[in-house]
Amino acid sequence: VKIQIREVQQSVNASQMVKGLFVLITALSFGIALSSGFTHWMVTEDGLSIQSVSDSPFLMAQPHSLVQFLDQERKLDAISQNRELFSEHEKMIREQEKIDDPEIESKIRSSDEDCLAAGTFSTNRDPFIVSYTLVDPLEDLEYMIGIVKDLNEDIPRENPYCTSDLPFSMYAFEHLPSMQQRAGLSIPYEHELQKSLPSRFRLLDFGHYVAVALEKEPTSAPLLNLAALYWRIRGEASNAVECLRRSLHYSTQQKRAGVMFALGNMLHRAGHSLDAIVLYQLVLAEIDDAFVHMALADALVVVQNRSDAIVEYDAAFARDPKMSDASLKAAALRCDQKLVDAMEKQHKNLLDTISEKNLYNNRYELVKTLEENVRKNVLDADGKLQSTLIYEYFTYGTLPHVSCRTVKHSGRSAMQCTISDWRRYRAAVSEKHQKLITAARRNAPQFSNETFDLSGDEEEEESQELIEFLNALDPFKGIDMDEPNGRPIYPRKIESSMSRLLERYLSNSWPNRSLCDANRWRHPMPTADNLPQLFMSPDNKGYSVSDLLNKYLGLSPLKEHPLPWALPECGSFIRDQPLSSMFKLPGVVHASSRGRSVKFAEERLRQTFVNLVGNRATQADVAQRIRTLLKYNIGPKWLVFNLAALYWRIAGVPGEAISCLRAALFFQPERHADVALTQLAQIVMRTASRDEHLSDASALLNTAIHVDPNEPLTYFLNGLIQILQKKYSIALAHVRAAVILDPLFQPAVDVLHALKCAASKDGGNPVGERIQARCCSPSQPNVLCFVSLGGACFTARKHGVYEANNCDINNRQSKDVCWRATPLVPFIAPSLSYDTSDAGNLENVESLKNRQDTNTDGLDDWIDNSDEIALDFGAEQCLQRIRERSRITTTPMSQTQVLYAGAKRVMTKEAEEVWEEEVTVHIVPFPESPLSLSQISDRRQMLAYDIELPEVLPLPLKEQIRLGLQYLPPSRTSDPNFCNNMKMTISMLHEQTTSTWVSVTAKGVGLEQYMDLSNPAPAIAGFEPNCPDLDEPSPLRTFDHLPAYHLREQFIFYKPEKALTDAFQSLGNERERIEHVAGRLMIAMKVSKLTPNLSKNQDGGVHWTLSTASTLFWRVKGDAVNALKCLRHSLNNAPPDMKDVALVSMANIYHQAGLLHSALIAGGAALGISPKLVAIHFTLANIYASMADYEHALQFYYSTLSLQSTFEPAKERIRAIYCHTGSTFRFHSRIHLR
């Protein structure tokens, strides 16, 4: 006889499981009192004890069948899960039934303000078929009467047919479907139009007069308009259209808009509202009239575009508040929209309720079926009774009033018991049961306090071990180990064997077709579900992680950390710290919100993690060692927090990993931040759900490249992101860079293999390698050049048209001349896409234009969103290797030079020689090809193309410096608290440029004198304040002699100055958008041209104040070319004492572009005009700070304080210079302090 004992496993931790097993053994040994003779036991919900089950579903009819037993368990689990879902379904159904409101329509109509305003107005089609006219016929009638004065009343009346010959007209909109079918148009009578005629006119007499006049002048536009009016009143559309066609053809430009409106109104009434909309919109471009907005709204309603119709009704009412029908119709449409939205929500809720009830019913039927199947597998009542009797027979021995014997069924032996007296049998079983309990209690061990002495001793021994461990740890507590104890791995020295290997990897012959086919599955293209799992070890930086986790804890790889063990949590270290902008990126926020998941667990990093201690260590042991390092502040914080983050990456808890990385970047942002950034980027990549998240990961990696461009892992991860975004040529550039830096970095080699194999399917190199994208100028960004055809270039136009373009700066050909592109272009160009341009130049231009200043602490100022491989951040040897290996052979662009004396064009060598003979000029080298971040990645490298510093530098007055020193005396720098809470780093001082701007109002000029602020502001696309070209420019007056001006189309570091948005919006009325203010400026420029006292002696007729204000718009947009165009106009036309306003902006733009010497010259010129403007002093101070000329920077910061003592940005920068440079500046000793 087999007795089944089943334990249902509960989800408990290790300690609870141990306790549960202990209780189980104890209960079986002496806890029989709880059993009451039952044969099945289950662990309780808390997992700490067991209890008997009276009617177990596992009392199987066939207890020998394991398959049936497991099937029973599966069915019971399914029943349990479905029963739990019943309550959820019921709750959902109740909530949905509450939402359902049969009276929703009447409630909205009786309470909504739009519905109350609309009243009973119908939104059917008829109220929106209204006749409108913009033309007053009286003027046309006067013209007609001048032709036809007296008529014979007795002659028959004629109709004014418009029959003058006009087979086709460019002005008559013959392309519209309604016009092509004009013979079949029909409209109702428009009797309301007759009200516009004098009352003495009968309709037939009016038509007769018009007919007689038309016979004399059949092409007169006024007469044709009157004829069209006649036919519209009579409801004859085809005749009216013919008259309006001819009127459009013969009307003047000023009158044509009114005729177009009449034609549109008639087509709308004839059922061709889409054509009417086209005409109305053209009329609006000429006439901003309330009736036009009203008519357009009516047509939009008929074509069911109600949202735009409401906008037009509101516009009509705003222009003419007396037009009550506009507000009435708008309210009715809004009411209708709200009703429709509410009814749609009700309908969706009803469908959801029905679906939920169907799911509930289906689940109920499923549970019933499962329960029936479970009952079929369980013993019947007689079988259960026999099982209980047999159990009691073997438990208590022979009992009275029961007879058990062996019987045979189908050749098998079985036991069967019968009861003669149930009452006496139960009494005997109870007596036996009590005796068994008494015996068990007597024989069971006594669990007194002495019983646990052994356990207590063990705890004391463990505690003693921990105490000894902590005592031995005392010498290491608080040790930071600032400096690495070894040499960094990167930049890796390339041996001869590695060089040959690299040559092989980069050659076009590797991998060949057979190698690609053989390793197709071994080197697959990475996907979002199969990303490499990598860790930038601190060992790369020269640190020994093994020593930190072993020697500095007094442990060895074979000796475990004393118990207890816990997890390396980091949240408590940064709980009160604010989030930096880096951790506010959407991708990072999304990753932080994700909980623990197997999907995010990076199991392949487990061995890497364990090997940090030794390959025989356990993951839990290493985790506790990291926790101890954190708790007792042992080792570099950035390193330990990175190790903690690695643990949580393996565990699949991205939120906790990001907390550790926050701590690493918060406490020591200047210490090898690329280790944390690469981990953070990988977490974002693994949890990304949108392409935007991948872009955030790329920005983090670009920031890591700024920190250390020697690590191949950073480039490799950036390549993976480009693969996920399907930018394969950009990915190839990044992965190649990783292999160049380390040919032994196998993950990069594998992906390079996959990329090149994928490209070989298209016949060799990818298109991005065969065709090089160039950006000749912002006006020609999409020029593509063949590498193998001597640099032949072409531009892709619409409809598959390709034009040749030699992309040559020295090209003397006319811009209007086009050539046919090489015959290969139509076959190769279709495979190009901007996403796969070779170096991502086009995307980089847009990325650089769209980047915004972050104005946050530490590394956040370095966040770089470009796809470009950033170079030259201090690792010249490694980066030169990438440049040499990655350079694409093309025909170089012509060497161009900028002449310091201000030549307006690039000159040939012969012309240069002649020029040099006449005037001695300073030649500044011009870049051979358009600049990009692949060539120049540090703003300071732009100085190679700038002019030399002038001999006499701009300096403030000594009196100003002396006065400024009083507000922040140098003596304070010795105060130990002087540098507390210092947020600005020295790199921020160099790189973080501040936008400065001087308004003309600061010079006493009122902008409202030149710009109308009373009329509504236009916000139409294309309404931008483009400054005119100069009639007679003076290169020295407009500072064209500075090299920065000639490089204006290549300001790769210049970004939109969003900080100036408020300043620009303040030029208009309150709450106006940027587009509104731009529209005002454009209109003001047009008015200036028509106003003699404004346009006099001004280039293009535009007053200099308007071009100065327009500069702000282009700076906010990040368009340096147009901004400088406006500044040149201002400098060429402004009075001498007003030129500093433009010069400050020019200096600030050049500063942000990295041309610091040009910026200094422009700023110095502004200082000479206005030596007491705060913005000029602060701008010059920032320029000197970017040049690392701290002494002169301090002088201007102090002079800034002399002019405005409460100017905190100047004080913050003074503190930054003193605190971060550690230098003592003695310039103040040369200035007498009172």
Q: Position of tokens 């006119």?
A: 201
* Long-range Cβ contact pairs of 101-110 (< 8 A, separation 24 or more): 101/346, 104/342, 104/343, 104/346, 105/339, 105/342, 105/343, 108/335, 108/338, 108/339, 108/342, 109/335, 109/339
Residue 156 has a pLDDT of 82
Name the architecture of domain 958-1230: Alpha Horseshoe (1.25)
pLDDT in tens, 564-612: 889 999 988 888 888 888 899 999 999 999 989 989 999 999 999 999 9
User: What is the spatial distance between Cα 811 and Cα 906, in angstroms, rounded to a whole number?
Assistant: 10
Given a cut of 70, the residues of the chain with pLDDT beneath it are 1-39, 43-49, 52, 54, 150-152, 154, 200, 443-463, 482, 761-929, 933-934, 971-976, 981, 1014-1022, 1070-1071, 1222-1234
Type and span of the H or E element at 1217: helix 1208-1221
- CA distance linking residue 40 with residue 56, whole number of Å: 6
Residue closest to 892 by CA, chosen among 942, 930, 837: 930
866-882 pLDDT, tens digit per residue, is: 444 433 333 445 655 66
The predicted structure's pLDDT at residue 139:
83
For residue 784, what are the β-bridge partners?
Answer: 773, 794
Q: How far is CA 12 from CA 8, 80, 618, in A?
A: 12, 19, 21
Give span(s): CATH 1.25.40.10, the chain: 135-288, 496-763, 958-1230
Give the pLDDT confidence score for residue 234 in this predicted structure: 92
Q: What is the pLDDT of residue 770?
A: 45
Spatial distance between the Cα atoms of 665 and 661, rounded to a whole number of angstroms = 6
Run of H or E including 786: strand 783-786
pLDDT at residue 1001 in the model: 80
DSSP string spanning 679-709?
HHHHHHHHH--SHHHHHHHHHHHHHHHHH-T
Report pTM: 0.38
Consecutive H or E run containing 139: helix 137-147
pLDDT of residue 82: 87
**Domain 496-763 classified CATH 3.40.50.150?**
no
pLDDT at residue 198, rounded to an integer? 78
pLDDT of residue 382: 85
- The sign of the dihedral angle between the CA atoms of 659, 665, 668, 674 is positive
- What CATH number was assigned to the domain covering residues 135-288? 1.25.40.10
**What are the tokens at 612?**
């940090």
How far CA 842 is from CA of 185, 695, 935, 1052, in Å, comes to 52, 16, 15, 12
Could you tell me where the DSSP H helices lie in 507-636?
Answer: 513-518, 545-549, 586-592, 606-611, 619-631
824 DSSP assignment: T
How confident is the model at residue 46, as a pLDDT? 55
Instruction: Report the alpha-carbon distance of residue 536 to residue 707 in Å, rounded.
Output: 14
